[in-house]
Structure 1
Amino acid sequence: MMKSIELFAGAGGLGIGLHEAGFRPINVIEWDSYCCDTIRENKTRGINAVNKWNLTEGDVRSVDFREYEGQIKLISGGPPCQPFSLGGRHRAYDDARDMFPQAIRAVREARPQAFIFENVKGLTRATFRNYFEYIRLQLEHPDIVARKSEDWADHLARLEQHHTSGRRSDLTYHVVTQVLNAADYGVPQKRERVFFVGFRDDLGVSWHFPLSTHSHDALLWDQVKGDYWDRHKVARKDRFISRSTDHIRRMDGPPIEHPWNTVRDALVGLPDPEHQPDVAATLLNHRFQPGARSYPGHTGSPLDEPGKTLKAGVHGVPGGENMLVRPDGSIRYFTVRESARLQTFPDDFLFHGSWTETMRQLGNAVPVKLARVVGEDVARHLKEAA
């Protein structure tokens, strides 16, 4: 058993995927009460993935991680992050919106063999390049701590100097970063997240991110050749083929990857909540939500493509991002259960709270399957290094 700690757990997407990869958290930390209620409810229901989680509801800043030194293989989580441009002068540990300093502190104090942290793709934008590099260098050299009253730009300069000097402190990690599109790994959603994965220097691990297993071209091949439609028993008159398929028709054989999974693939077996409400109501979190509307830039997810990125929304659920577009052009909101399918949560996992609240939890989550793919590869390398 590979023991771990999960920070900023949310509703558990990253943690469940890592559980499926073989990690067992001895502490799961989350401050949001609704997310904690979701985890607790599923623990009470005996759901395997979270049944033995030791849940701590509270502020990660109050947790002393030194007691875990020598006990854990992995620290993981999705730290809330408010990146800053280099034009501003901000103390490194001042901003409660930015929890990366706490993730780095957890690594420094617990000294795990590896870590997996993820965040929104926006963190990689050119505007935030220096702050992205600041996070990466802190993770590589967690012992080089910001001094009292030192702003992050000055701390970054010290980290750069230490890194280029060739010196190594007592605790050093080899860190790899990459933006991963969940659709490229079999998740029925085009969702991009940046991952930071690090292995402790003394392990001697050589690692790269898992190569993608699914592709858009493979989906187009399946649709052009008809296998996709035959599999779903779609009549010929209702089949839609993307215009951008000329290169597919010229190919000698199918791509080596699996096809991207689509919304239609994800919803197999689920009754339509609008037209079969009584049947749908027998399933967990599968109730029709009225009020969907389409507007420019927010036109929903077509049935025969991977879903658009589910979003949490600052002021409620954004319409277009969390909405299904049927082939006839009609629209409706995804139910919570359908959204959970798009995020590859297990069907027996129950989300606690109102529709808006549960959609917020899902919009902030890491797809379980993507977490498992990354976690399995990290686990394999840790076992080989043992």
Structure 2
Amino acid sequence: MAELREGSKKDRTGVELFAGAGGLAMAVHRAGFRPLLFNEFAKRACETLEANGAQRLPDGQKPTRAPGPNEKVPLVAGDVQDLDMDYLAGQVDVLAGGPPCQPFSLGGVAKGDEDKRNMFPQMFKAVQQIQPKAVICENVRGLLRPSFRDYFNYIQRELEMPFEKRGNRTWEQHYKHLLEQREKEPDDPKKRYDLVMMPVNAADYGVPQIRNRVIIVAFRRDLDVDRELFKTLVKPTHSETALIRSMEEDGEYWKRHPNVPDHVKERVMARLPKTMPMDDGLLPWYTLRDAIAGIGDNKPLPDVPDEWLDRTEHFLSGFTEHIGWPGARIYDGHTPNELDRPAKTVKAGVHGVPGGESVMLLDELVADKTVPGGARYKHRYMTVRETARVMTFPDTWDLRGPRGEKMRQLGNAVPVALGEVFAKAVATVLDEAEERQK
């Protein structure tokens, strides 16, 4: 894939299920894992993966061998339940994926294990078939809700012992069986995995977005991976405390954004604590303003003029997908993003998702006699490009489909920067374990 071909010092390999728009796949490859296979069900997401270099196999064709280092990544488009990965047994370092989160999402009906969209069993099937050295699994924080606690514990135990067949047992009966087996040493340590489960906020890892998730990482027991080292490597790097401190008068944040109007700066400063919190030694959270201005090598995105809120690609400053969309509204329960905070969680909706996640306040004041003070801040919908930056996708990543489908793909994705932290940590501890066993 175009963006993924960054090369790696060691030919480690990966498989990506539920690949979506490619966020976690990109993160895993940047960490040095060469992709051997992608699988995705959604039509538009498959088009996105193909547009960025994956080679979609003809419908009904199944891969029979792993691609070489200079070959394109095969994409199997379709139901993961029809996928046979036995041919990859013993060739995969990391299996990664975010099983569909709707069964456990706070924004959905939350049927959990009763929901046919629950794809955790397919992750376990993949582990059985390929016996990867490590597994990275991302999902919504809703898994930690009390109503799902027992089932989430069951998911973790099943990932630890994926070769314990469930048969005709209910999940409750199988959970009891797994707890009994967990107390026994396995006959073959290659068939047992050791887990690290972490609730995370993507903002704590350099993502300009509040995005609370659960990440589960499993290591094959025979490798004797140092999980304590892994936990050290995935500690948060950014904090709200550091952002607040950087917003002190003439602080680093304002020096980075010298053109913020005084009235905006005063509004933001007025909400800061009267007593500055102690320095925690971390970097400041990135904000939506940071994302638009450009983090790292990204160039600033221009604002969209009012006359170009017309659903038309004007290629502002040469950027694609920076398209203005009319009709943004603010009302009770549908409040906008503010530029000087991390963005709200990007959701898999179009532009009318509950909460106003795709609307943002601008810096410009306009007269409005209906509001206190007679003036309000302008607002508009975020563009697809702005949303992609909030998800830390590179500007070169080619998203396919109409606006709604692109926003859906982004809302379902794993932020690249978040996935990269965990994937790099997996690579490091695998290297360390293999060196120790020489």
TM-score normalised by L of structure 1: 0.90
Distance 1:83 1:255, change over 3 A: closer
2:52 is paired with a residue whose SS is helix
- Which of 105, 112, 117 aligns to 2:125? It is 105
- State the one-letter code of the partner of 1:228: Y
2:263 pairs with 1:243? no
TM-fit CA distance, 1:279: 5.1
- Structure 2 matches for 1:1-386, cutoff 5 A? 1-43=11-53, 52-81=72-101, 82=103, 96-148=116-168, 150-163=169-182, 165-170=183-188, 171-207=191-227, 208-209=230-231, 210-226=234-250, 227-233=252-258, 234-239=260-265, 240-248=268-276, 251=278, 254-268=279-293, 269-275=300-306, 277=308, 278=314, 280=316, 282-313=318-349, 317-318=353-354, 320-327=356-363, 328=365, 329-386=377-434
**Residues in 2 aligned to 1:169 and 1:9: alpha-carbon distance in whole angstroms:** 33
Verify the 8 A CA contact 1:31 1:59 in the aligned structure 2: yes
Q: Which residue is equivalent to 2:368?
A: none
**Residues in 2 aligned to 1:304 and 1:83: alpha-carbon distance in whole angstroms:** 30
Q: CA RMSD in A?
A: 2.4
Verify the 8 A CA contact 2:13 2:92 in the aligned structure 1: yes
Distance 1:113 1:274, change over 3 A: same
Unaligned runs of 5+ in 2: 1-10, 56-69, 106-110, 294-299, 309-313, 366-376
**Residues in 2 aligned to 1:179 and 1:12: alpha-carbon distance in whole angstroms:** 22
Deviations 1:54-110 (Å, cap 9, x if unpaired)?
2110111111222211101010000125259xxxxx998x85311100001101111
1:247 is paired with a residue whose SS is coil
TM-fit CA distance, 1:246: 2.3
TM-fit CA distance, 1:214: 0.5
TM-fit CA distance, 1:281: 7.5
TM-fit CA distance, 1:241: 1.1
**Residues in 1 aligned to 2:146 and 2:176: alpha-carbon distance in whole angstroms:** 19
TM-fit CA distance, 1:162: 1.3
Verify the 8 A CA contact 2:302 2:317 in the aligned structure 1: no
Q: Which residue is equivalent to 1:87?
A: none
**Residues in 1 aligned to 2:352 and 2:275: alpha-carbon distance in whole angstroms:** 41
- State the one-letter code of the partner of 1:8: F
Verify the 8 A CA contact 2:335 2:356 in the aligned structure 1: yes
Distance 1:383 1:91, change over 3 A: same
- State the one-letter code of the partner of 1:179: P
Distance 1:215 1:319, change over 3 A: closer
The structure whose RCO (Cα within 8 Å, separation 6+) is larger is 1
Verify the 8 A CA contact 2:240 2:285 in the aligned structure 1: yes
- State the one-letter code of the partner of 2:275: H
**Residues in 1 aligned to 2:321 and 2:355: alpha-carbon distance in whole angstroms:** 19
- State the one-letter code of the partner of 1:213: T
- State the one-letter code of the partner of 1:168: P
**Residues in 1 aligned to 2:270 and 2:427: alpha-carbon distance in whole angstroms:** 39
**Residues in 1 aligned to 2:224 and 2:282: alpha-carbon distance in whole angstroms:** 31
TM-fit CA distance, 1:345: 0.2
Deviations 1:9-38 (Å, cap 9, x if unpaired)?
000111111111111110000011100001
Distance 1:44 1:203, change over 3 A: closer
**Residues in 1 aligned to 2:381 and 2:351: alpha-carbon distance in whole angstroms:** 16
**Residues in 1 aligned to 2:172 and 2:104: alpha-carbon distance in whole angstroms:** 12
Deviations 1:294-341 (Å, cap 9, x if unpaired)?
122221210001000011139964460111122442211110000000
Verify the 8 A CA contact 2:104 2:140 in the aligned structure 1: no
2:213 is paired with a residue whose SS is strand
Name the count of aligned residue pairs. Answer: 371
Verify the 8 A CA contact 2:112 2:148 in the aligned structure 1: no
TM-fit CA distance, 1:166: 2.6
- State the one-letter code of the partner of 1:326: L
**Residues in 1 aligned to 2:91 and 2:223: alpha-carbon distance in whole angstroms:** 16
- Of residues 110-119 and 219-228 in structure 1, the stretch that sits farther from structure 2 once superposed is 219-228
1:144 is paired with a residue whose SS is coil
Unaligned runs of 5+ in 1: 85-89
- Of residues 221-230 and 103-112 in structure 1, the stretch that sits farther from structure 2 once superposed is 221-230
Verify the 8 A CA contact 1:175 1:196 in the aligned structure 2: yes
**Residues in 1 aligned to 2:256 and 2:350: alpha-carbon distance in whole angstroms:** 39
Distance 1:242 1:74, change over 3 A: farther
- State the one-letter code of the partner of 1:197: V
1:199 is paired with a residue whose SS is strand
Distance 1:281 1:151, change over 3 A: farther
- State the one-letter code of the partner of 2:255: D
Aligned-residue sequence identity (percent) comes to 43
Deviations 1:168-223 (Å, cap 9, x if unpaired)?
25310001111110100110001111011010001111224311110101111111
